[in-house]
Amino acid sequence: MPSIKLQSSDGEIFDTDIQVAERFGIIKSLLGDCPEDDENAPVPLPKVNSTILRKVLSWAQHHKDDVEPTEDDDNKDTDEISSWDADFLKVDKSILFGIIAAANYLEIKELLELTCQAVANMIKGKTPQEIRNIFNIRDESTFTRSEEEQA
């Protein structure tokens, strides 16, 4: 199968199946703009480190045969996460937020929605203080006394 080389921000090269890389909107656009003689040059991804890119590629490999969502799917409101995706999302919060940032940068709508849904599920039903604890937000860093009084 044809492949493409992706280079993480920390210099690691990932030889990736084109079908997998085409899940990334940014790569799909670049492939259309890439001259034939540059086929073997790695595509730099300056905003994604190797740890996060490895996770994103794992997700994309698993979902490479998924049907592209339709507009009807976009309007669907669901909290359901598949068991594979649930296992995929069992990561430290810093990794999860890194995946969210990468999905946004790489234009992977389905992964962005999945990871944001995971964060929403994480805070669903929590009090403001519990949410602060989840995200390690100190009370004093959220609002000054005058801001609290204005609210």
Reported as a single tens digit per residue, the pLDDT across 124-145 is: 999 888 888 888 887 655 666 6
HSE toward the beta carbon, residue 23, CA cutoff 13 A: 25
Whether the model pTM is above 0.85: no
Determine the Cα–Cα distance for residues 105 and 74; give it in Å rounded to an integer.
Answer: 20
Number of domains in the chain: 1
Q: Which structural domain range is residue 43 located in? A: 3-150
The answer to whether 89 touches 97, Cβ cutoff 8 Å, is no
CATH number for the domain spanning 58: value is 3.30.710.10
Using one digit for the tens of pLDDT, what is the confidence trace for 32-50? 766 554 567 899 999 999 9
Contact 52, 61 (CB under 8 A): no
Question: Would strands 43-44 and 3-7 be described as parallel, antiparallel, or unpaired?
Answer: parallel
Q: Of 58 and 140, which is predicted with more confidence? A: 58
Walk across the sheet containing 13-17 and list its strands: 13-17, 3-7, 43-44
